[in-house]
A and B are shown apart, each in its own frame.
Chain A
Amino acid sequence: MNDIKNHIKIIDDIPFFSEDSYWGKAPKEELEKALKVLEEKGWEYFNANYQNKFDFTFEENRADWRFNIPIDKNFVVLDAGAGMGRNSIPLARVVKKVVAFDSSFLRIKFLKKRAEKESLDNIDIMVADLFNMPFKQNSFDLIVMNGVLEWVGASDKFKNPREAQITALKICKNLLKDGGYLYIGIENRFAFAYLKGFDHSGLRFTSYMPRFIANWYMFLRKGKRYDTYTYNIKGYQKLLRDAGFGGANFYLAYPGYNCPRTIIPYDNLNILAYAIKNLMPENTLRRKVSKMVVGIKPALWLYRKLFFSFSIIVKK
């Protein structure tokens, strides 16, 4: 990679392999301001004022899905779409090396600062995207796609979003060593939560719609195609198969893949029932109802179908 580095743009010691493209729930200006505050006033001030912003960035449990993979200290990990380091930082504590890239310079710059603060010198950081990466085949023991696959279709290089997703998965497969693992954290297309919330498109109900209707609706409302595809279990299984991967292990992540406090094997309804009954809070009407119907198998089966998000682990 050093040869390549000699020919590319580098800012603040961060090499660019793709154009800088900001994303995130917080506006770019807010992160810019936060980084400035961090540089001028240090971590203590930053933590006091920004700790709870930027989506649980500091919680170590973000990468708890990793317990389902036999990670060891010799692992080399690629965190694709690393963002601000929610997965890279916990992983770097337990593996040999993490290569973290993101299309947003600001987000990856924050990751770099955090790694320095934590004295983690085993994270390589760069601006890149899945279709512009400088790595050789068979380089990684684990590739992380946490909240990434659903956004891949936004690339205009492909005819349709699904094709972009399959290409991205194929790229990952090539980068993995034989026996290496791919982790995907992603939403369920038919999640119950989408009844009251917004889909990735920024509109309501688009994930439920047949793709061509969602597409038409997006054009009508936003003037562009619907490109943030999510799937149900069968859909993800087919997508992975089409990308050349074998069987995958699916897990239900509660409250979501971004904060997987509870991770339940998808194929075990008994464990789901136990988790609902014993471990999930009764803080909403939906939770109270779930606890009541947990003994009714068809209801439990349906509950699983409508679960919010998945952790998916697939071995090359």
Chain B
Amino acid sequence: MIQLIEKIIIEKFLDLTGGINVKLSFLKYSTPNSGKSLDDKVIFFVFKANEKNPFLCVKTVRTYLAKNTVIKNFDNLKKLNDLTNNSKYENMFAKALYLFDDGENIFSIETVCPGIKTKLNKKRLEIVTKKYIDFQEYLARNNNGQFITDIEQFVKDIIIQSELKESDKKKILQFIGQMSFKGIRLPRIIQHGDVTEDNILLEKDSVSIIDCDFVGFTDMPGFDLFGLFYRFDKYKSKKLCYEYFPEYFIKIRADIGVDKYDNLFFLYYFLEHLRKKYLLEKVSADEIISDFKIIYKM
């Protein structure tokens, strides 16, 4: 397939490649988890001769039957590009450049984000968190006044439409029914859906976020930050949430009292399981609830 990709890149991006006789080299990469399912992506970094860094990134799948993975990722990236165009956040994500689909092969071409994957420590986490809060503030300012005013109904709809077993749906609804969401008003803000250490690239003070498979999974603000803290250290995530969420909610102009934070955290926690189906397959609603109570000391 590389031969086809090279041909298309030279055809479509003559200005970037610098001529039709250019020789491109390809570095194939897939994450340790890629290969478990046919929907998993395969990535190629494209290098020009003698260049130390790639100038393009190509994403494909192992069978054309899984083409929706590529299309979805490309569309999600375009969505983020549209939201951040001409802002100081436009380099936070790669640029979706081209989608090739000839009915047999499918691949997308995008730019490469600067930075490298780095193990997060508290200091780096703070850099990422601050940048992400600012980015979300920017989106909130441009969300055309769309708010979630009835959180309970918002979540009930998600649960009812989910693939959870009916008995599990009932238990989660019962648990949420005991909580109060009165007075909460959150602006709808698109969430990346998978802000993890693996998807964050750092370079000096710049933060880039890759892997757009879950972009738009929810527009409930705070989901990304919660996920970032939870996956950084689940037992410290409550402390981190209380440290950063007040500033976050002020910046995105959300109305929520601190006494309602834990209720919201459960919703994030539950959505996190809903996002990754394999998490749901491993645990029941009872386990989700009891684990949450342990981690968040409720």
Contact = CB atoms under 8 A, between A and B. Distances in A.
A147 interface: no
Contacts of A278: 116-117
A61 interface: yes
A277 interface: yes
Interface stretch (A68-76, A171-179, A239-247): A68-76
B62 A60 contact: yes
Contact of A67 (B1, B31, B63): B1
A72 B104 contact: yes
A261 B52 contact: no
B54 interface: yes
A116 interface: no
A264 B45 CA distance: 10
B35 A59 contact: yes
Contacts of A93: 38, 62-63, 65
Most chain B beta-carbon neighbours within 10 Å: one of A67, A263, A265: A67
Contacts of A215: none
Interface stretch (B20-28, B74-82, B163-171, B245-253): B20-28
Given A60-B35, A70-B3, A271 B25 contact: yes
Which secondary structure dominates where chain A touches chain B?
Answer: mixed
Nearest to A264: B27
A198 interface: no
A6 interface: no
Contacts of A64: 28, 30, 35, 42, 62
Interface string A257-295: 000111111001011011101110010000000000000
Most chain A beta-carbon neighbours within 10 Å: one of B28, B31, B35, B52: B28
B236 interface: no
B34 A274 contact: no
Given A270-B52, A271-B25, A278-B117, A261 B30 contact: yes
Interface residues of A, number: 31
Nearest to A68: B2
B38 A60 contact: yes
Most chain B beta-carbon neighbours within 10 Å: one of A268, A277, A282: A268
B29 A262 contact: yes
Contacts of A270: 47, 50-52
Contact of A94 (B30, B45, B50, B63): B63
Nearest to A261: B30
Given A60-B40, A263-B27, A265-B25, A273 B32 contact: no
A274 B30 contact: no
A278 B62 CA distance: 23
Given A67-B2, A270-B51, A274-B52, A61 B30 contact: yes
A268 B25 contact: yes
Most chain B beta-carbon neighbours within 10 Å: one of A60, A71, A263, A282: A60
A274 B4 contact: no
Contact of A274 (B27, B32, B42): B27
A274 B31 contact: no
Nearest to B104: A73
Contacts of B117: 278-279
A107 interface: no
A257 B50 CA distance: 26
A262 B32 CA distance: 10
Interface in B76-93: none
B52 A263 contact: no
A62 B104 contact: no
A190 to B, nearest CB: 23
Interface string A32-60: 00000000000000000000000000111
B201 to A, nearest CB: 8
Given A60-B62, A67-B44, A70-B1, A260 B116 contact: no
B40 A274 contact: no
A226 to B, nearest CB: 34
B119 interface: yes
B49 to A, nearest CB: 9
Nearest to B50: A270
Contact of A90 (B27, B44, B47, B62): B62
A90 B45 CA distance: 22
Interface string B52-83: 11100000101111000000000000000000
Nearest 8 CB-CB pairings of A with B? A61-B35, A263-B28, A59-B35, A60-B35, A70-B3, A93-B63, A67-B1, A278-B116
17 contacts: A59-B36, A60-B37, A61-B40, A61-B42, A64-B28, A64-B62, A67-B42, A71-B1, A94-B63, A263-B28, A265-B25, A270-B50, A271-B47, A274-B45, A274-B47, A274-B52, A275-B27
Given A59-B35, A61-B35, A68-B28, 12 more contacts: A60-B40, A61-B30, A67-B60, A70-B2, A71-B1, A73-B104, A261-B34, A262-B30, A265-B25, A265-B27, A271-B47, A279-B29
